[in-house]
């Protein structure tokens, strides 16, 4: 690759992490354009930096992630550097579940290396400075362990978060449902945006994505702080609220109005968004599938009766 070296990648990586997109973009584009003949590790790093830059600019970085993963499958060994590159590529491709075990394996390799270095160091200096150096190495090991725990917590959060809306996803809903079901009052609601396919068809999928993000934010803001709103998939959301049944209808009527009264024309002229909601009381010990099925049936009634309404058990 004439005129290019590892120093270019170091500079590009520094610019990306420093947030200097204007300077990083042309350098990274040149690097990936001239990638033929470059060492596989540098090629993969270039595609990863390119994809991360695109994602921060709100563009699609999955093609760059795919190129990095292709290189990993062809050339990667099982060392920490390639494991971390594969984890970054999976995360960039929107698969945090796949990134987490790779990151754990990477840290396992690094931990093994740290432990081996620690043992050798202790043996070398045991006669003179054992206590002093053990304390120092132990501090480093604790710091490394803390970094690992922070990474695990971060990827666990990503695995329970919907990438588009930032709301909890189905995995988080299932965990929260298990934690909340018990003797206290609990209601579950299924919320479905009305005529969402028409919105995508008429205004574009970009507008559809903006509607999902805005609708999720409005509905979450209309619920109380302890309540949970999760995106189940597509235009369907699920809420859990610790409310007695006689208060649930009013609470979710406020959620319905938050969408019906919002100024959607700010996203696209002529756009209007409403939501239909089915609300059911959860019995003590009831499982999530049964509660969802009952709320789905109530949602179907809301759709059948004209949409933009709340239907609940007592209704």
Q: Which of 174, 176, 235, 247 is catalytic?
A: 235
Q: In whole angstroms, give the CA distance from residue 98 to residue 32.
A: 25
Annotated active-site residue 235? The verdict is: yes
The answer to whether residue 208 scores a pLDDT higher than 60 is: yes
Lateral strand order in the sheet of 275-281: 228-233, 236-241, 187-193, 275-281, 310-312
Would you say domain 6-94 falls under CATH 2.60.40?
A: no
For residues 209 and 153, the model is more confident at 209
- Rounded to two decimals, the pTM is 0.53
Residues in Cβ contact with 176 at an 8 Å cutoff, skipping those fewer than 6 apart: 168, 228, 230, 240
**Given pLDDT bands bounded at 50, 70 and 90, which one contains residue 5?**
low
Beta strands in 70-193 (DSSP E): 187-193
CATH H-level superfamily of 170-312 = Reverse transcriptase/Diguanylate cyclase domain (3.30.70.270)
214: nearest Cα among 202, 201, 231? 231
Between the alpha carbon of residue 210 and those of residues 70, 132, 216, 262, 267, the distances in Å are 32, 57, 10, 14, 8
For residues 272 and 155, the model is more confident at 272
For residues 108 and 57, the model is more confident at 108
pLDDT at position 1 is: 40
131 class by beta-carbon count within 10 Å (0-12 exposed, 13-18 middle, 19+ buried): exposed
**Mean pLDDT over all residues of the chain?**
82
Q: Kindly report, as residue ranges, where domains of CATH 1.25.40 are found in the chain.
A: 6-94
Q: Kindly report, as residue ranges, where domains of CATH 3.30.70.270 are found in the chain.
A: 170-312
For the stretch 228-263, pLDDT in tens is: 999 999 999 999 999 998 899 999 999 999 999 999
For the stretch 16-49, pLDDT in tens is: 666 676 766 676 666 666 655 566 666 676 667 7
Q: In whole angstroms, give the CA distance from residue 258 to residue 181.
A: 27
């Amino acid at each position: 690759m004439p005129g290019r070296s590892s120093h270019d990648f170091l500079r590009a990586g520094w610019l990306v992490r420093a947030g200097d997109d204007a300077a990083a973009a042309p350098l990274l584009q040149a690097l990936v354009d001239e990638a033929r003949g470059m060492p596989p590790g540098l090629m993969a790093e270039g595609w990863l930096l390119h994809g991360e830059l695109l994602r921060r600019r709100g563009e699609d970085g999955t093609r760059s992630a795919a190129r990095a993963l292709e290189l990993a499958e062809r050339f990667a060994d099982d060392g920490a550097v390639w494991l971390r590159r594969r984890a970054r590529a999976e995360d960039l491709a929107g698969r945090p579940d796949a990134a987490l075990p790779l990151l754990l394996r990477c840290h396992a390799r690094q931990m093994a290396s740290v432990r081996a270095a620690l043992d050798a160091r202790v043996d070398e200096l045991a006669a003179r400075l054992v206590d002093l150096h053990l304390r120092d190495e132990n501090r480093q090991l604790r710091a490394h362990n803390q970094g690992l725990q922070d990474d695990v917590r971060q990827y666990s959060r990503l695995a329970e978060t919907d990438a588009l809306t930032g709301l909890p996803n189905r995995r988080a809903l299932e965990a929260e449902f298990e934690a909340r079901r018990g003797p206290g009052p609990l209601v579950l609601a299924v919320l479905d945006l009305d005529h969402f396919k028409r919105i995508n068809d008429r205004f574009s999928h970009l507008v559809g994505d903006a509607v999902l993000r805005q609708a999720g934010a409005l509905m979450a803001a209309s619920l109380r702080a302890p309540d949970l709103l999760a995106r189940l998939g597509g235009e369907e959301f699920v809420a859990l609220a610790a409310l007695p049944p006689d208060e649930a209808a009013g609470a979710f009527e406020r959620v319905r109005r938050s969408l019906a009264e919002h100024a959607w024309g700010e996203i696209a002229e002529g756009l209007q968004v409403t939501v239909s909601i089915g609300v059911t009381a959860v019995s003590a010990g009831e499982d999530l599938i049964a509660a969802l099925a009952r709320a789905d049936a109530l949602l179907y009634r809301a759709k059948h009766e004209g949409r933009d309404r709340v239907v609940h058990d007592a209704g």
